[in-house]
Structure 1
Amino acid sequence: MSEPNRIQSPDKKNMTDPNKPSTNTQHILTQSTNTPSFASKVSSEQLPKRELAIVFNTIENIPQIEYLIALSKLISPKDITYASRIGYFKERQTNPNRASGGVAVLVKNNIKSSPIPIISELEVIATKIQLHQEITICNIYLPDSMDFSYQQIINIIKQLPSPYIMVGDFNSRNTNWGCNHTDPRGKIIEKIIDDENITLLNNGTFTRHNSSKGTFSAIDLSLASPSISPYLSWEVKTDYFNSDHWPILINIHHRNSPHTPYNTNKWNLRNPNWTLFSDIVDKLMSENQMLINELNTDDIDIIVKQFTSIITEAAHKSIGKTITLPKKTPVPWWSKECNNAIKNYKKALNRYKKTKTIPDHINLKKAKALSRRIIKHQKIEFWKKLINDLTPNTPIKEAWKKIRLIEGIQFNETPQTLTIGEKTYHSSLEKAEALAEIFEKNSSDENYDALYKCNSKNSTSHDEIPYIFIKQLPISAISILLKIFNLIWEKRTFPTPWKRAIIIPILKPNKDRHEVTSYQPISLICTLSKLLKKIVSKRLYWTLKHTNFISNQQFGFQRNKSTIDALTILTEDIYSAFHIK
């Protein structure tokens, strides 16, 4: 076992203060590529893109999980049962012989997981999660007041399928992981690490700050089996201050991870130069006379391809693209004051780590108290504003949008694995092929109809042309587009590029997200194709309406009519019948 730099600091835990709040240790496991990847700011630090499993130790009374919420969700729950409402599946183990709340493992709902039974008299829990491979997450709590033996820990490790990550509050001190002395408990853990060839992820950084005594310690350990440890990074997040234990972030780095979030290039529509765009399109249209001359040919694919390339070329020159990183939804109550408060707290913490003087410790406690007060105030004010905004006249869609925003619920997340019968698919390509095989049996007409009703003015398919580009085309381009539409109609041929679509799988209500058959497809087709279909649909409706082909008693697919109209007529007929009788 390699020995990190030793950090000397008093680290005796305060076990006598009856007013001391309950504490917990948090380990946050994430996944990324071979380079650590972080997303948009939700606090003063860059935070990880995707949380996979969150491990809590000694959850007593009110669990301190605000940092988890700051990472990926929007509310601060008051009880661990809220975990399922914010997108996590909970596994919890309690000890009836102790007053503590036990240990728990929270796994993202889109990650397939299953509990692993552990036979032990210690407080321990293990869960198996399915990523690119199965990984075991074990959470253990060894209270200071209870002794443990070498064999007890060994028995637990023997029950863990490899590869595994074992984390927890060990309350064991050893200079190898940053404590200022080694106690008998620390010697036991050190011997276990050496005998079992386990990797210690701790690098000597403190993991706990006893604010009442002003001391630091490193009693929260992270262990891993040798096969997975080269792919793990370890970091303590000191900006968390609602517990005396700081969260530990463990990131899994995979060189070729099939689940790595990717960056996307989107049109920069914040400040577009539509005049320049229109002028460039007009110029390119005049330079490509071949396009107009070929409108009488049968090769519609070439015409459509050339017309599309003119629009995209003009957009590149006048609008450009911007790199869009995968976003994490920030907490809605976060403000500049919160950022400044966190910044001042961390500044005071770093200063006190260097000086260890009483005045700096007092300043640290003041900064900590102030930041707590500011954040609490921001939460309260946000809730007040939210409640005031909700009225009896608030549309149902808007109300649910706000509720989901608060709860941090993400819908239609494609899980990391999909199954058909006994077969499991892991890579993105395998899952796409499995979904395509199922979707092939579905009707695409319903998908298109649903898509037309969506508000998608800036959405694009593979041609990268949003509706807003079409609206800004010059008269010359609109004329060419109409000629293309007429040519398609006259020649009774449809462009091959317009037959392609991007398929988005949507999870059906109350279905298992890991089953391929639980999804229904939504198709994103080219906007030019959708425009043509809308024109045809509008003219078809006009013809059917004015030839009295559609009955007056039909309410479906009729403008300004709904099932309410049918129910109204039925109700009136019933009342009239009773009145006549």
Structure 2
Amino acid sequence: MCLDELQEAYSALSERSPVIILGDFNAKIAGPRANVNLDQRASMLGELLSENSLISINMQSFCTGPVNTFYAYTGGPQTPIDHIVVPTELMYIIHSAEVIDDNPLNVSDHHPVVCLLAIDLPSQPAANPPIRRPAWNKALQNGSIKDYTHAVSNSLWGKQLPALDCDREDIEHLTDIITMALTMAASDCLPVRHFRRYLRPYWKEQVKDFHDLMLSYRHKWILDGRPRGMTYTSFRDYKKSKDKFRAAMKEAAALYETEHFNNLDKLYDIDQKTFWALLNNRNKKSHISTISVSGNHTTDSLEICHALADHMKTIFSKGVDDHFDQNFKDHLEGRVAELKHCTSNKIIDVKCLLTSQSEVSKLCKSLKNNKACGFDGIYYEHLKHGGSTLHYYLSELFNRIITTGSIPSQWKKGIIIPIFKGGGKPRTSPDSYRGVTLLPVMSKLFEQVIANRIPQFQDSTDFLILCNAASRKASRRLFMHHSSFRRQSTTTRNGMTL
């Protein structure tokens, strides 16, 4: 960007709010920390800064770290060309500034410039703590899964169970006890998966070897007192190893890209379906970067979240739409009336619907791995490896829900994931996203228990006979919520959190 474009952009943006400029200016800026010789480029930049009352933060006396931000590997110039530039009127919000001297993961010739701002932000609602995902494969390998099972059993052992015809508070309390036992045992016994952002698909053994070598030379350089200059052996070895690591990483990345595109080229001729699946997956955005709210586009993640939440609430709220098919509405109401009539006079013995520890254990063994959890952070693996004591308490909880018809409030909450509908729809419109709700896995296990009882109930009622074969599977879940728990005033999916 030339200076004229920078001036034009700054003038336009500064009319709305104060502007902070940061990056590689490729020019020196004078300041209290250093008297630098200004060439023609630096003089022109200095005039622009002076006209707009802008100053460089990292050239002020309170900034710590080295003055120079660019160090050439080949022993070339060392210059302060990277800056955070702010208006003088904003100096009161500057808390501290630092040029980071060295970082093992920084493979650039430039040192990072960090500035801490003291800004009064409007109060935000408290966010849910991040979900800690256990490393289940690692736990199975090192044997900590046995410690987890033992901890769950110890936490639940001896807990008094309420009567079968207990009230809602007792069911809530029992659900909390089981959830707490699972989360505490996992926190105490299981390793956690950590996201290592420096890893890439091309991070193979050769790249790792160069990285380890660089770290060893860096350690020697630190022990030598962090000297600077190619005349120092420790500094020279460290910089050369860092240069080799960067070259190896670039070479591995280029090789990975070449192999990837070669595979795509071969697939184009022999399997176009897989070709387009891989290509679309490569180009697919993993997050929503922009959304339109009341005609205005926003890129703020919190505002995007609120906009989608409001959209989902509108979808799931009762309302009157003037544009609907009256014949289809009458048909649905008639079908619902039929279903109510065929089930209203049926007397079912609740005892035949109760489950057992052995059934719950069998269902837990069949649960799939690596599936998403609900807002409570409980995965299927928590239930699979919880042990016989956990399965006993789950069966007792399910029996009390079946007897009373009361669903725990935790099971009425879910995490809504917006999925783009595709089909050429605008990505900035909330209407272009379909909500998929992640429910607590204990509620899904309970649904499987109820689904196992549908066949025996089908023999004693005409409920499913009214449905065609294609919709009977869906009717089982409808039956569970509409018939068995018709005493429940709210459904298990009326709560939504983003």
If the TM-score is normalised by the length of the shorter chain, which range does it land in? Answer: 0.5 to 0.7
Alignment of 1:230-249 (within 5 A): 230-231=93-94, 233=97, 235=99, 246=110, 249=113
Q: How many residues align?
A: 393
Q: Which has the higher contact order (CA 8 A, sep 6+)?
A: 1
* SS of corresponding position for 2:450: helix
Question: In 2, Cα distance between the equivalents of 1:458 and 1:303?
Answer: 26
Structure in which a larger fraction of residues adopt helix: 2
Distance 1:524 1:377 in 2: 41
CA distance in 2, matches of 1:540, 1:187: 82
The equivalent of 1:531 in structure 2 is 445
Cα distance in 2 for partners of 1:326, 1:548 equals 51
Asked if 1:226 is matched to 2:88, the reply is: yes
- CA separation in 2, counterparts of 1:267 and 1:476? 23
Residue 337 (1) aligns with residue 209 (2): yes
Give the equivalent residue in structure 2 for 1:288: 159
2:132 to 252, 255, 266: 266
Unaligned runs of 5+ in 1: 1-102, 104-121, 126-137, 139-152, 445-453, 559-581
Q: Which among 361, 370, 384 is matched to residue 244 of structure 2? A: 370
3-state secondary structure, aligned to 1:205: coil
Q: In structure 1, how many angstroms separate the alpha carbons of the residues matched to 2:120 and 2:392?
A: 50
Aligned to 1:442: 315
**Alpha-carbon contact 2:55-2:87 (below 8 Å) kept:** yes
Asked whether the equivalents of residues 165 and 224 of structure 1 are also in contact (C-alpha less than 8 Å), the reply is: yes
Measure, in 1, the Cα distance between the counterparts of 2:444 and 2:195. Answer: 28
Q: 1:250 to 1:175 in 2, by over 3 A?
A: closer
Equivalent residue in structure 2 for 1:163, among 18, 32, 39: 18
Query: Residue 333 of structure 1 contacts residue 382 of structure 1 at CA under 8 Å; is this kept in 2?
Result: yes
Partners of 1:373 and 1:491 lie apart in 2 by 67
Q: Partner residue of 1:305?
A: 173
Change (3 A) 1:163 1:349: farther
Letter matched to residue 467 of structure 1: Y
The residue identity in structure 1 corresponding to 2:252 is Q
Q: Distance in 2 between matches of 1:326 and 1:441?
A: 35
How big is each residue's C-alpha offset from its partner over 1:532-554, in whole Å with a ceiling of 9 and x where there is no partner? 223334554787799877767x5
1:572 corresponds in structure 2 to none
The whole-number CA distance in structure 2 between the counterparts of 1:248 and 1:461 is 38
C-alpha deviation, 1:459, in angstroms? 3.6
- Map of 1:403-442 to 2, 5 A cutoff? 404=281, 410-413=285-288, 415=290, 419-421=293-295, 428=302, 432-442=305-315
The verdict on how the C-alpha distance between 1:308 and 1:469 changes in structure 2, with shifts beyond 3 A counting, is farther
Q: Do the aligned partners of 2:213 and 2:241 also contact (CA within 8 Å) in 1?
A: yes
Structure 2 CA distance for partners of 1:459 and 1:375, relative to 1, 3 Å:
closer
CA separation in 1, counterparts of 2:402 and 2:72?
Answer: 77
**TM-aligned CA deviation for residue 467 of structure 1:** 1.6
Q: Give the Å deviation of 1:529.
A: 0.9
User: Which position in structure 1 is the counterpart of 2:361?
Assistant: none
Q: SS at the partner of 2:438?
A: strand
Which SS does the other structure have where 1:534 is aligned? helix
Change in Cα spacing, 1:332 to 1:281, as seen in structure 2 (3 Å) is: closer
Q: Is 1:468–2:381 an aligned residue pair? A: yes
Counterpart of 2:406 in structure 1 is: 493
1:382 aligns with 2:260: no
Decide whether the 8 Å contact of 2:67 with 2:80 is kept in 1: yes
Gaps of 5+ in 2: 60-65, 318-366, 475-498
Seen in structure 2, the aligned counterparts of structure 1 residues 438 and 212 have a Cα distance that, compared at 3 Å, is: closer
Offset at residue 275 of structure 1 (A): 4.0
Match of 1:181 in 2: 37
- Offset at 1:396? 6.8
Instruction: Find the aligned partners of 1:516 and 1:280 in 2 and give their Cα distance.
Output: 44
Secondary structure in 1 matching 2:315: coil
Q: Shift in Å at residue 306 of structure 1? A: 1.7
**CA distance in 2 between partners of 1:496 and 1:273 (Å):** 32
Q: Provide the alpha-carbon RMSD of the alignment.
A: 5.3
**Are the counterparts in 2 of residues 179 and 217 from structure 1 also a CA contact under 8 Å?**
no
Q: How many angstroms apart in 2 are the aligned matches of 1:261 and 1:327?
A: 23
Residue type matched to 2:409 in 1?
Answer: T
User: How far is 1:464 from its partner?
Assistant: 3.5
For residues 521 and 557 of structure 1, the distance between their equivalents in structure 2, rounded to whole angstroms, comes to 22
1:178 and 1:218 in contact (8 A); partners too: no
3-state SS, counterpart of residue 435 of structure 2: strand
The CA deviation string for residues 381-412 of structure 1, in whole angstroms up to 9 with x for no partner, is 5346657888869997899569856x6x6413
CA distance in 1 between counterparts of 2:68 and 2:379 reads 51
Letter in 1 for 2:174: Q
Q: Match of 2:293, SS?
A: strand
SS at match of 1:224: strand
Aligned amino acid, residue 165 of structure 1 = I
Decide whether the 8 Å contact of 1:209 with 1:216 is kept in 2.
yes
1:198 aligns with 2:111: no
d(CA) in 1 for partners of 2:275 and 2:168? Answer: 43
What residue is the counterpart of 1:95 in the other structure?
none
Q: Specify whether residues 338 and 496 from structure 1 end up closer, same or farther in structure 2 by C-alpha distance, changes over 3 A only.
A: same
Q: Distance in 2 between matches of 1:316 and 1:516?
A: 38
Deviations 1:53-79 (A, max 9, x none): xxxxxxxxxxxxxxxxxxxxxxxxxxx
Can you list the C-alpha shifts for 1:312-340, whole angstroms capped at 9, x where unaligned? 23552465277777763632223323424
Structure with the bigger percentage of strand: 1
Q: Check 1:551–1:426 CA distance in 2 against 1; reply closer, same or farther (3 A cut).
A: closer
* CA deviation map 1:346-380 (0-9, x unaligned): 79999997345499998788657634542344235
**2:197 aligns to what?**
328
Give the residue type in structure 2 aligned to 1:215: P
Query: AA paired with 2:311?
Result: I
Amino acid of the structure 1 residue aligned with 2:434: Q
Counterparts of 1:399 and 1:479, CA distance in 2: 48
Other structure's SS at 2:395 match: helix
Mapped to 1, the partners of 2:379 and 2:18 lie a distance apart of 46
Alignment TM-score, normalising by the size of structure 1: 0.52
The whole-number CA distance in structure 2 between the counterparts of 1:361 and 1:277 is: 48
Q: Taking structure 1 as reference, are residues 170 and 467 closer, same or farther at Cα in structure 2, changes over 3 Å only?
A: closer
C-alpha change, 1:164 and 1:423, in structure 2 (3 Å) is: closer
1:179–1:397: structure 2 CA closer, same or farther, 3 Å change rule? farther
* TM-score with structure 2 setting the length: 0.58
1:267–1:347 distance in 2 versus 1, CA, 3 Å: closer
| Superposed displacement of residue 235, structure 1 | 4.0
Q: Alpha-carbon deviations, 1:419-474, whole Å to 9, x = none?
A: 1345969683x655543332134369xxxxxxxxx966564323343222222344
Identity %: 17
Deviates more, 1:216-225 or 1:387-396: 387-396
Looking at structure 2, the residues matched to 260 and 348 of structure 1 have their Cα atoms a distance apart, in angstroms, of 45
Q: Distance in 2 between matches of 1:278 and 1:368?
A: 45
Superposition deviation, residue 475 in structure 1? 3.7
For 1:539 and 1:372, the matched residues in 2 are separated by 61
